[in-house]
Structure 1
Amino acid sequence: MGKLDVSLLQYITKEDFRVLIAVEMGMKNHELVPGPLVAQLANLRSGGVFKKLRNELCQNRLAAYERGKHYDGYRLTNLGYDFLALKCLSVRGSVVGVGSQIGVGKESDIYVVKGQNDRMLCMKIHRLGRTSFRKLKEKRDFHHGREMSWIYLNRLSATKEFAYMKALHQRGFPVPEPIDANRHCVIMELVNGYQLQQVHDLKDPAQLYSDLMELIVQFANNGVIHSDFNEFNVMITDQDKPIIIDFPQMVSTNHMNAKMYFDRDVQCIITFFKRRYGYESELYPDFDKDVERIYDLDKEVAASGYSREVNAFDDMIGKQNKDDEDDEEEEEEDSD
């Protein structure tokens, strides 16, 4: 882990950003964006665009030129996409400085950033595709016949997370306060605590176990299921109070597999507490008996203006997960 070097950001001109945005727009439907299309989308002279791409943006690793099977073209790098998001967040005043990296996962990078009034915040950069969804590159045409890029997938993931975090925070759930989002970056409150998987001693394991099970039920009572409720996505404060993070996998209780996701969340907590703290309880929630919907938080998110992006992300991930399961079954049959 280190620091995201944003020193170059101050030297990027408006024309540079126009070219980067043009490449971004082209990548919605192309893995590699042809140079003439970049010039057309940027509404700049072709000669000037090629010079900026080759001599400035590619040399600074904000874009990359590659030779494809059928044609050559440009793509944004992770750093280039980071710069586009940070530029917008800085213009809005949500981020005025970037600090050190404090976390890294298979699907995200986490940084400390400075917001308004020197408030220290957390920036989550979605990095789907690093190790997950391994077949997506070969199956880019599964969403309404369009080819999907990592950039689009990460933007949808961040949009969904911000939408659910905002709705949950407004309902009083123990989640980080959402501040802002742009593209694949989500700015939120910096939680003063530790991941549950880092905590080896608890004052009262039974109380925390009960609190977490109650949260799973309260999520469901409000119409949503976390779907990834485990020791990596539960933060613990110094008072042993839980704060829940990471919401891209959240689903509605109306989902066809809602009970399976609910039971999986419950089992993750049961298994972890038994393994880590030696704590076992006969009490755990049942989806059919203990869930009673009292609020339609899932419908609230759908009506919030984020529904198109959230549904698109869910469609893609659902399709990808099914394809991966089918591939794993085929591999098992071949091994037999």
Structure 2
Amino acid sequence: MKIQQVDRNRFLVTTKRYRDKVTSDWFDAKLLAEQGAIIGHSTGRNTTWFFQQQDQQFVLRKYFRGGILSKWVEDSYFFIGLKRTRAYRELALLRKMRKKGLPVPDPVALMVEKNGFTYRASIIIGLIKNTQDLFHILRQRSLSADEWKAVGMLIKQFHDKGVYHSDLNIHNIMLDDQGQFWLIDFDKGRLIANNRAKLETNLARLQRSLRKELSKFPDFNWQESDWHHLVKGYYGD
């Protein structure tokens, strides 16, 4: 990946495919909006922007803290080296996963802004077109047994390559209009060798996510029996 120092405090890192395309302006949501490049957004803990440049569509996401610490420190982290930032690690992991043929977004670029001993960061990835996350799908309809098995097979595909997703939940599993499932949001994800037990904790995290949404939304189209289909897909039964 190409590292470019934009100014005294900012560093732009791009993957090979995008090294001559991405500029620092791509990380400025306000400027993108003024240019008419914003095509959508999603809100959660923070806003994620969808934008278009050079006939391609991308996702701009800023890094924010979660948990109790976020009440005091919203979006800054201790700087201990560019390659150890959350943004660099996620972009590098996406690169490795794409090379392994895994269904993840296209890694594009990141921006790190250093301020003394801390930094803020944003990442740009390719937008997977015509997709919805599992949460929104399950608010509309149930998944078939075969679709749940496909979700299990998806997770197993990543585990077989040693990929640990640090926050596997139904908001990070996407389904496109061709029936293919994808995984997104690999912040704090990593490659783990020879630790099947650790990888399989992803399953428990996903099951908690489903149960949590079911408790919040009575019309949520999921039931415990669906989980058995997912497990069958994962273990190949």
Per the normalisation by structure 1, the TM-score is: 0.47
Q: Kindly provide the CA deviation profile for residues 208-260 of structure 1, in whole angstroms up to 9, marking residues without a partner as x.
A: 21111111111111112213221111122223432211102324254697156
- What are the ranges of 5 or more consecutive residues in structure 1 without an aligned counterpart? 1-15, 22-83, 139-148, 292-336
Report the equivalent of 1:234.
Answer: 173
The count of residues paired between Structure 1 and Structure 2 equals 196
Report the equivalent of 2:57.
Answer: 120
CA distance in 1, matches of 2:126, 2:142: 26
Runs of 4+ in 1 over 4 A off after TM superposition: 88-92, 135-138, 253-257, 272-275
Q: Of residues 36, 40, 48 in structure 2, which corresponds to 1:110?
A: 48
Q: Kindly provide the CA deviation profile for residues 3-56 of structure 1, in whole angstroms up to 9, marking residues without a partner as x.
A: xxxxxxxxxxxxx943xx2xxxxxxxxxxxxxxxxxxxxxxxxxxxxxxxxxxx
Structure of greater relative contact order (alpha carbons < 8 Å, 6+ residues apart): 2
Residue 221 of structure 2 corresponds to residue 277 of structure 1: yes
- The percentage of aligned residue pairs carrying the same residue is 19
User: Would you tell me which structure has more helix in proportion to its own residues?
Assistant: 1
Deviation at 1:188, TM superposition (A): 1.3
Instruction: Provide the secondary structure at the position in 2 that maps to 1:134.
Output: helix
Report the equivalent of 1:30.
Answer: none
Report the equivalent of 1:313.
Answer: none
1:268 and 1:227, CA in 2 relative to 1: closer, same or farther beyond 3 A? farther
Report the equivalent of 2:149.
Answer: 210
Alignment of 1:117-266 (within 5 A): 117-128=54-65, 131-132=66-67, 134=69, 150=77, 152=79, 156-183=85-112, 184-192=121-129, 193-199=131-137, 200-202=139-141, 204-251=143-190, 252=192, 254=194, 258=198, 261-266=201-206
Match of 1:188, as an amino acid?
I
User: Would you tell me which structure has more strand in proportion to its own residues?
Assistant: 2
Match of 1:102, as an amino acid?
H
Which protein has the larger Cα radius of gyration, Structure 1 or Structure 2? 1
C-alpha root-mean-square deviation of aligned residues, in Å?
Answer: 3.9
Answer yes or no: is the 8 Å Cα contact 1:227–1:265 preserved in 2. no
Answer yes or no: is the 8 Å Cα contact 1:225–1:262 preserved in 2. yes
CA distance in 2, matches of 1:213, 1:167: 22
Answer yes or no: is the 8 Å Cα contact 1:123–1:187 preserved in 2. yes
1:211 and 1:269, CA in 2 relative to 1: closer, same or farther beyond 3 A? farther
